[in-house]
Amino acid sequence: MNYQLIFHPQATAEYAEAYQWYEREQKGLGDRFEGKVEEGLFQLQSHPENYGIIKSPYREVSLDVFPYVIVYRINKRKRIIYVSAIYHNSRNPGGKYRK
């Protein structure tokens, strides 16, 4: 059974900004980025505990090809995944752990 996804507002903004940046760089690249994010979200939604805890209680899914991670935490009782960031690997890692 899948978990419900809830996005932190900043994660939503990061996702949109990254999509737009890639699309400006090359037509269709934003769509490829979106596809990789969707793959990652599907995987973590289906099997959220497959990914290790990086900084308790946060886990991360790395995207193929793109230098981004999806940062999330799990509420098992409510069957909810809170996505706290769609974060570029070159940024300061302290900013990706949001409540």
- Better-predicted residue by pLDDT, 31 or 1: 31
SS3 (DSSP) at 17: helix
The values of phi and psi at residue 20, to 5°, are -65, -40
Give the confidence band of 94 by pLDDT, cuts at 50, 70, 90: confident
Q: Measured between alpha carbons, how far is 34 from 16 in angstroms, rounded to an integer?
A: 9
Domain boundaries, the chain: 4-89
Half-sphere exposure of 39 (CA within 13 A, CB side): 13
Distance, CA of 14 to CA of 65 (rounded, Å): 17
Burial of 84 (0-12, 13-18, 19+ CB in 10 A): buried
Superfamily of domain 4-89: RelE-like (3.30.2310.20)
Query: What pLDDT shows up at residue 98?
Result: 79
Pair 62, 36: CB distance under 8 Å: no
Contact by Cβ (8 Å): 58, 73: yes
Q: Could you read off the pLDDT of 39-93 as tens digits, one per residue?
A: 999 999 989 999 989 999 999 999 999 999 999 999 999 999 999 999 999 887 7
